[in-house]
Protein backbone atom coordinates (compact mmCIF):
# COMPACT_ATOMS: atom_id res chain seq x y z
CA UNK A 1 0.00 0.00 0.00
CA UNK A 2 2.84 2.37 0.90
CA UNK A 3 4.42 1.73 -2.52
CA UNK A 4 1.16 2.79 -4.23
CA UNK A 5 1.04 5.97 -2.16
CA UNK A 6 4.66 6.74 -3.05
CA UNK A 7 3.91 6.18 -6.73
CA UNK A 8 0.88 8.49 -6.57
CA UNK A 9 2.91 11.12 -4.74
CA UNK A 10 5.56 10.98 -7.48
CA UNK A 11 2.99 11.26 -10.27
CA UNK A 12 0.81 13.96 -8.68
CA UNK A 13 2.89 16.94 -9.84
CA UNK A 14 3.18 15.73 -13.48
CA UNK A 15 -0.57 15.07 -13.43
CA UNK A 16 -1.15 18.65 -12.25
CA UNK A 17 0.92 19.93 -15.18
CA UNK A 18 -1.05 17.81 -17.69
CA UNK A 19 -4.32 18.82 -16.02
CA UNK A 20 -3.42 22.50 -16.24
CA UNK A 21 -2.08 22.54 -19.80
CA UNK A 22 -4.91 20.41 -21.23
CA UNK A 23 -7.65 22.45 -19.54
CA UNK A 24 -6.18 25.77 -20.64
CA UNK A 25 -5.59 24.49 -24.19
CA UNK A 26 -9.21 23.31 -24.25
CA UNK A 27 -10.38 26.76 -23.18
CA UNK A 28 -8.20 28.33 -25.88
CA UNK A 29 -9.62 26.05 -28.57
CA UNK A 30 -13.09 27.39 -27.77
CA UNK A 31 -12.16 31.07 -28.12
CA UNK A 32 -13.80 32.95 -30.99
CA UNK A 33 -11.68 35.94 -31.99
CA UNK A 34 -14.53 38.24 -33.17
CA UNK A 35 -16.36 37.72 -29.86
CA UNK A 36 -13.17 38.34 -27.92
CA UNK A 37 -12.44 41.58 -29.80
CA UNK A 38 -16.02 42.75 -29.22
CA UNK A 39 -15.67 42.27 -25.45
CA UNK A 40 -12.22 43.88 -25.39
CA UNK A 41 -13.86 46.99 -26.85
CA UNK A 42 -16.60 46.85 -24.22
CA UNK A 43 -15.24 49.03 -21.40
CA UNK A 44 -18.09 48.12 -19.05
CA UNK A 45 -17.40 44.41 -19.34
CA UNK A 46 -13.67 44.91 -18.83
CA UNK A 47 -14.29 47.10 -15.78
CA UNK A 48 -16.64 44.53 -14.24
CA UNK A 49 -14.15 41.71 -14.80
CA UNK A 50 -11.33 43.66 -13.17
CA UNK A 51 -13.42 44.93 -10.25
CA UNK A 52 -15.14 41.62 -9.51
CA UNK A 53 -12.04 39.52 -10.13
CA UNK A 54 -9.23 41.49 -8.50
CA UNK A 55 -10.91 43.90 -6.12
CA UNK A 56 -14.02 42.19 -4.75
CA UNK A 57 -12.46 38.71 -4.77
CA UNK A 58 -9.33 39.58 -2.73
CA UNK A 59 -11.29 41.86 -0.38
CA UNK A 60 -13.81 39.11 0.31
CA UNK A 61 -11.00 36.61 0.79
CA UNK A 62 -9.37 38.90 3.34
CA UNK A 63 -12.65 39.44 5.20
CA UNK A 64 -13.23 35.69 5.48
CA UNK A 65 -9.71 35.14 6.87
CA UNK A 66 -10.42 37.81 9.51
CA UNK A 67 -13.77 36.34 10.51
CA UNK A 68 -12.95 32.61 10.47
CA UNK A 69 -10.08 31.08 12.46
CA UNK A 70 -8.24 29.52 9.52
CA UNK A 71 -4.78 27.96 9.61
CA UNK A 72 -1.95 29.63 7.69
CA UNK A 73 -2.16 27.10 4.82
CA UNK A 74 -5.92 27.61 4.50
CA UNK A 75 -5.41 31.37 4.40
CA UNK A 76 -2.78 31.04 1.66
CA UNK A 77 -5.09 28.78 -0.32
CA UNK A 78 -8.10 31.07 -0.02
CA UNK A 79 -6.14 34.19 -0.96
CA UNK A 80 -4.58 32.44 -3.96
CA UNK A 81 -8.05 31.38 -5.04
CA UNK A 82 -9.30 34.95 -4.66
CA UNK A 83 -6.87 35.94 -7.43
CA UNK A 84 -7.89 33.27 -9.97
CA UNK A 85 -11.50 33.51 -11.16
CA UNK A 86 -13.24 31.39 -13.81
CA UNK A 87 -13.00 27.61 -13.53
CA UNK A 88 -12.40 25.53 -16.69
CA UNK A 89 -15.80 23.84 -16.27
CA UNK A 90 -17.74 27.14 -16.43
CA UNK A 91 -18.77 26.69 -20.12
CA UNK A 92 -20.59 23.47 -19.14
CA UNK A 93 -22.39 25.29 -16.33
CA UNK A 94 -23.23 28.20 -18.64
CA UNK A 95 -25.22 25.87 -20.87
CA UNK A 96 -27.18 24.60 -17.86
CA UNK A 97 -27.76 28.19 -16.73
CA UNK A 98 -29.00 29.12 -20.22
CA UNK A 99 -26.35 31.81 -20.30
CA UNK A 100 -24.83 33.51 -23.32
CA UNK A 101 -22.24 31.00 -24.55
CA UNK A 102 -20.40 33.50 -26.78
CA UNK A 103 -20.06 35.91 -23.85
CA UNK A 104 -18.63 33.11 -21.70
CA UNK A 105 -16.10 32.12 -24.36
CA UNK A 106 -14.96 35.71 -24.79
CA UNK A 107 -14.30 36.08 -21.06
CA UNK A 108 -11.86 33.14 -20.96
CA UNK A 109 -8.75 34.80 -22.46
CA UNK A 110 -9.47 38.14 -20.78
CA UNK A 111 -9.64 36.54 -17.34
CA UNK A 112 -6.62 34.29 -18.01
CA UNK A 113 -4.42 37.20 -19.11
CA UNK A 114 -5.51 39.28 -16.12
CA UNK A 115 -4.76 36.37 -13.78
CA UNK A 116 -1.25 35.95 -15.18
CA UNK A 117 -0.65 39.69 -14.67
CA UNK A 118 -2.31 40.26 -11.30
CA UNK A 119 -1.55 37.07 -9.37
CA UNK A 120 2.27 37.47 -9.40
CA UNK A 121 1.90 41.16 -8.48
CA UNK A 122 -0.74 40.81 -5.78
CA UNK A 123 -0.05 37.42 -4.19
CA UNK A 124 3.29 38.34 -2.54
CA UNK A 125 1.73 41.54 -1.16
CA UNK A 126 -1.36 39.79 0.18
CA UNK A 127 0.10 36.53 1.49
CA UNK A 128 2.76 36.71 4.19
CA UNK A 129 3.62 33.00 4.12
CA UNK A 130 4.12 32.79 0.36
CA UNK A 131 7.62 31.46 -0.36
CA UNK A 132 7.77 32.00 -4.12
CA UNK A 133 9.01 35.18 -5.80
CA UNK A 134 6.75 37.23 -8.10
CA UNK A 135 8.95 36.44 -11.12
CA UNK A 136 9.06 32.69 -10.41
CA UNK A 137 5.28 32.67 -10.05
CA UNK A 138 4.88 34.71 -13.24
CA UNK A 139 7.11 32.27 -15.19
CA UNK A 140 5.04 29.30 -14.06
CA UNK A 141 1.78 31.02 -15.03
CA UNK A 142 3.13 32.12 -18.40
CA UNK A 143 4.40 28.66 -19.27
CA UNK A 144 1.47 26.55 -18.11
CA UNK A 145 -1.46 28.98 -18.33
CA UNK A 146 -0.98 31.67 -20.96
CA UNK A 147 0.98 29.72 -23.57
CA UNK A 148 -1.46 26.74 -23.81
CA UNK A 149 -4.40 29.16 -23.91
CA UNK A 150 -2.80 31.36 -26.58
CA UNK A 151 -1.74 28.33 -28.63
CA UNK A 152 -5.29 26.95 -28.57
CA UNK A 153 -6.76 30.31 -29.56
CA UNK A 154 -4.19 30.71 -32.36
CA UNK A 155 -5.02 27.28 -33.80
CA UNK A 156 -8.72 28.14 -33.83
CA UNK A 157 -8.07 31.46 -35.54
CA UNK A 158 -5.51 30.35 -38.14
CA UNK A 159 -6.34 26.65 -38.62
CA UNK A 160 -9.96 26.11 -37.66
CA UNK A 161 -10.10 22.69 -39.37
CA UNK A 162 -7.16 21.50 -37.27
CA UNK A 163 -8.82 22.87 -34.14
CA UNK A 164 -12.02 20.98 -34.94
CA UNK A 165 -10.08 17.73 -35.36
CA UNK A 166 -7.99 17.98 -32.18
CA UNK A 167 -10.68 19.45 -29.91
CA UNK A 168 -12.27 16.05 -29.02
CA UNK A 169 -8.85 14.58 -28.11
CA UNK A 170 -7.88 17.57 -25.98
CA UNK A 171 -11.29 17.43 -24.32
CA UNK A 172 -10.77 13.77 -23.41
CA UNK A 173 -7.27 14.43 -22.06
CA UNK A 174 -8.60 17.34 -19.99
CA UNK A 175 -11.41 15.26 -18.52
CA UNK A 176 -9.22 12.25 -17.75
CA UNK A 177 -6.44 14.36 -16.22
CA UNK A 178 -8.99 16.27 -14.14
CA UNK A 179 -10.43 13.01 -12.81
CA UNK A 180 -6.94 11.59 -12.13
CA UNK A 181 -5.84 14.72 -10.26
CA UNK A 182 -8.97 14.50 -8.12
CA UNK A 183 -8.54 10.79 -7.36
CA UNK A 184 -4.77 10.98 -6.91
CA UNK A 185 -5.05 14.05 -4.71
CA UNK A 186 -7.79 12.48 -2.61
CA UNK A 187 -5.66 9.35 -2.02
CA UNK A 188 -2.33 11.09 -1.41
CA UNK A 189 -3.83 13.75 0.84
CA UNK A 190 -6.56 11.61 2.41
CA UNK A 191 -5.10 12.00 5.90
CA UNK A 192 -4.93 15.77 5.57
CA UNK A 193 -8.48 15.92 4.16
CA UNK A 194 -9.83 13.92 7.09
CA UNK A 195 -7.97 16.27 9.42
CA UNK A 196 -9.91 19.25 7.99
CA UNK A 197 -13.18 17.83 9.35
CA UNK A 198 -14.32 20.18 12.10
CA UNK A 199 -12.22 23.04 10.74
CA UNK A 200 -13.54 26.01 8.78
CA UNK A 201 -11.87 24.98 5.51
CA UNK A 202 -15.02 23.90 3.66
CA UNK A 203 -17.12 26.67 5.19
CA UNK A 204 -14.67 29.34 4.00
CA UNK A 205 -14.90 28.08 0.40
CA UNK A 206 -18.70 28.01 0.44
CA UNK A 207 -19.00 31.49 1.95
CA UNK A 208 -16.60 32.87 -0.65
CA UNK A 209 -18.43 31.34 -3.60
CA UNK A 210 -21.96 32.15 -2.43
CA UNK A 211 -21.16 35.80 -1.64
CA UNK A 212 -19.25 36.28 -4.90
CA UNK A 213 -22.08 34.70 -6.86
CA UNK A 214 -24.80 36.80 -5.23
CA UNK A 215 -22.99 40.14 -5.56
CA UNK A 216 -21.84 39.69 -9.15
CA UNK A 217 -25.28 38.52 -10.27
CA UNK A 218 -27.27 41.13 -8.37
CA UNK A 219 -25.13 44.07 -9.47
CA UNK A 220 -24.74 43.39 -13.18
CA UNK A 221 -24.82 47.08 -14.08
CA UNK A 222 -26.67 46.78 -17.36
CA UNK A 223 -25.67 43.25 -18.36
CA UNK A 224 -28.48 41.05 -19.67
CA UNK A 225 -29.68 38.21 -17.44
CA UNK A 226 -27.91 35.57 -19.53
CA UNK A 227 -24.69 37.60 -19.27
CA UNK A 228 -25.03 38.23 -15.53
CA UNK A 229 -25.35 34.49 -14.98
CA UNK A 230 -22.13 33.95 -16.94
CA UNK A 231 -20.31 36.64 -14.98
CA UNK A 232 -21.57 35.22 -11.70
CA UNK A 233 -20.53 31.64 -12.55
CA UNK A 234 -17.13 32.87 -13.69
CA UNK A 235 -16.53 34.85 -10.52
CA UNK A 236 -17.96 32.47 -7.93
CA UNK A 237 -15.84 29.61 -9.31
CA UNK A 238 -12.08 29.69 -9.19
CA UNK A 239 -9.55 28.27 -11.62
CA UNK A 240 -8.22 25.33 -9.64
CA UNK A 241 -5.65 24.54 -12.32
CA UNK A 242 -4.07 27.99 -11.91
CA UNK A 243 -4.01 27.74 -8.12
CA UNK A 244 -2.65 24.18 -8.17
CA UNK A 245 0.14 25.06 -10.57
CA UNK A 246 1.03 28.06 -8.39
CA UNK A 247 0.96 25.90 -5.25
CA UNK A 248 3.12 23.05 -6.55
CA UNK A 249 5.68 25.65 -7.68
CA UNK A 250 6.15 26.73 -4.06
CA UNK A 251 9.33 25.16 -2.59
CA UNK A 252 8.50 22.54 0.08
CA UNK A 253 4.79 23.23 -0.28
CA UNK A 254 2.67 22.31 2.76
CA UNK A 255 0.44 19.29 1.96
CA UNK A 256 -2.37 21.05 3.85
CA UNK A 257 -2.36 23.78 1.18
CA UNK A 258 -2.82 21.20 -1.60
CA UNK A 259 -5.60 19.63 0.46
CA UNK A 260 -7.42 22.96 0.72
CA UNK A 261 -7.13 23.49 -3.03
CA UNK A 262 -8.63 20.06 -3.75
CA UNK A 263 -11.48 20.76 -1.31
CA UNK A 264 -12.15 24.08 -3.05
CA UNK A 265 -12.21 22.42 -6.50
CA UNK A 266 -14.70 19.78 -5.37
CA UNK A 267 -16.89 22.30 -3.55
CA UNK A 268 -16.90 24.70 -6.49
CA UNK A 269 -18.33 22.06 -8.83
CA UNK A 270 -21.25 21.48 -6.45
CA UNK A 271 -21.92 25.17 -5.77
CA UNK A 272 -21.63 26.09 -9.47
CA UNK A 273 -24.05 23.29 -10.43
CA UNK A 274 -26.62 24.59 -7.93
CA UNK A 275 -26.12 28.18 -9.11
CA UNK A 276 -26.45 27.15 -12.78
CA UNK A 277 -29.73 25.41 -12.04
CA UNK A 278 -31.08 28.52 -10.28
CA UNK A 279 -29.94 30.80 -13.11
CA UNK A 280 -31.54 28.45 -15.64
CA UNK A 281 -34.88 28.75 -13.86
CA UNK A 282 -34.56 32.55 -13.73
CA UNK A 283 -33.77 32.61 -17.46
CA UNK A 284 -36.91 30.57 -18.09
CA UNK A 285 -39.03 33.00 -16.08
CA UNK A 286 -37.68 35.91 -18.10
CA UNK A 287 -37.79 34.07 -21.42
> Rounded to whole angstroms, what are the CA distances from 40 to 72, 87, 109, 157, 235?
37, 20, 10, 17, 18
Mean pLDDT of the chain: 90
pLDDT of residue 111: 93
**Closest by CA position to 24, among listed 128, 136, 188, 170:** 170
pLDDT of residue 131: 80
For 87-105, what is each residue's pLDDT tens digit? 988 888 999 999 998 899 8
pLDDT of residue 31: 84
Side-chain-side CA neighbours of 232 within 13 Å: the count stands at 34
Give phi and psi for 210, each to the nearest 5.
Answer: -65, -45
In the chain, the percentage of residues whose pLDDT exceeds 70 is 99
Q: Spell out the domains of the chain, with CATH numbers in brackets.
A: 2-286 (1.20.1530.20)
Find the DSSP H helices in the chain. Answer: 2-29, 33-40, 43-51, 57-67, 72-81, 90-96, 101-126, 134-141, 147-158, 160-188, 190-195, 201-218, 225-236, 240-248, 255-286
Most confident of 22-26, 163-167, 244-248: 163-167
Please say whether the beta carbons of 12 and 185 come within 8 A.
Answer: yes
- Kindly report whether the global pTM for this prediction surpasses the value 0.85: yes
What is the mean pLDDT of the segment spanning 199-228?
93
Please say whether the beta carbons of 93 and 231 come within 8 A.
Answer: no
For 238-250, what is each residue's pLDDT tens digit? 988 899 889 988 8
Amino acid sequence: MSEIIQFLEATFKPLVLIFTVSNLALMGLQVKMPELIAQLKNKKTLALILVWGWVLGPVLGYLITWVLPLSESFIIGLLLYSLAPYAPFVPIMVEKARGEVSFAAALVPIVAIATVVFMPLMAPLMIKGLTISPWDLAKVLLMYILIPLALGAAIVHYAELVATKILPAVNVIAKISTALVGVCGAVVYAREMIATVGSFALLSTIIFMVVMGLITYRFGFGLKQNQRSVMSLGMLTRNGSVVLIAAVAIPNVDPVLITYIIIFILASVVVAAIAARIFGKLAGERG
